[in-house]
Amino acid sequence: MQQSISRRRNRQIYLVLMFCCLLGFWLFENFYTPDPYGAEHGESSTEIPIFLLPSSTTGTVVGHQHYTLSYNEPYEQAEWVAYVLKKDHLTTQTRKRPYFMEDPKIKTKSADWRNYKGSGYDRGHLCPAGDRRFSEQAYNETFYTSNIVPQDKDFNAGVWNRLEMQVRQWARTYGDIYVITGGVLQKGLDTIGEEDVAVPHYFYKIVARGDAKSMKMIAFLLEGKENNAPLRSYAVSVDQIEEMTEIDFFQDLPDDVEAKWEKAVQLEGWRF
């Protein structure tokens, strides 16, 4: 009799502990949010120069310590992310991968990372974590979900990654590089998650160097699926990306400089 009572008691304790574990896991998964990734004391900013910032179709422009973005709430992602990549930013230093978390600077809140769970899509970085290994703060900032877009896994690890590596090589070769990148946000896109995060069909990246009088720029437009074609085959004019996105890139450049560099596909001066 006593053994039977003891077994029942042990079973009850086991069930209670199991319930507590499951409840704790559920609470962690659904409600835990780490502290915002604040700037380290004395760390300088590496934001892109103001004269190179594009227009915003939403007016929601957010400046972080190491990149700037324009958030588009209906699509639950940034319509562009802009940042500077310097030669001395490039390092192979290992960083501990942080949590994805909502952007504390966006009043409407950026999409929760859980929207991506079970979606079949990668959480693709716009400002790559690999470009921000030079400090813990810079690296962690890239894990705000405002810097994340749904991307096909093979595309993210394939041609998109190849383009990111090419941009790093240009920074090693030419010095300071200015990058503006995002998904093409249009009506009718598929969505994922409870917050209906849009899945772009196309992604763009615009790369520039030099000053306002001697600017060189090159633009790329890629369909969001893996392709082994040479990177130069994805080069397009900035005007084409502006037409698709309704964003005015390099709006503060002198009109003659802007017209000169945006209307044509620019390959000259960029070593592949």
Sequential DSSP letters for 7-70: HHHHHHHHHHHHHHHHHHHHHHHHH--PPP-PPPTTPPP-PPPGGGPPP-SSS-EEE-SS-EEE
d(CA 74, CA 72): 6
Q: What is the mean pLDDT of residues 196-200?
A: 98
- Is the domain covering 46-262 a CATH 3.40.225.10 domain? no
pLDDT band at residue 259 under the 50/70/90 scheme: confident
* 0.75 surpassed by pTM: yes
Residue 66 appears among annotated catalytic residues: no
d(CA 71, CA 51): 19
Q: Assess whether pLDDT exceeds 70 at residue 75.
A: yes
Inter-residue contact 132 to 155 (CB < 8 Å): no
Helices 255-262 + 238-245 axis angle, to 10: 100
Say which of 64, 89, 125, 201 is annotated catalytic.
Answer: 125
Least confident of 37-41, 138-142, 148-152, 183-187: 37-41
Q: Assess whether pLDDT exceeds 50 at residue 157.
A: yes
Residue 25 confidence (pLDDT) = 45
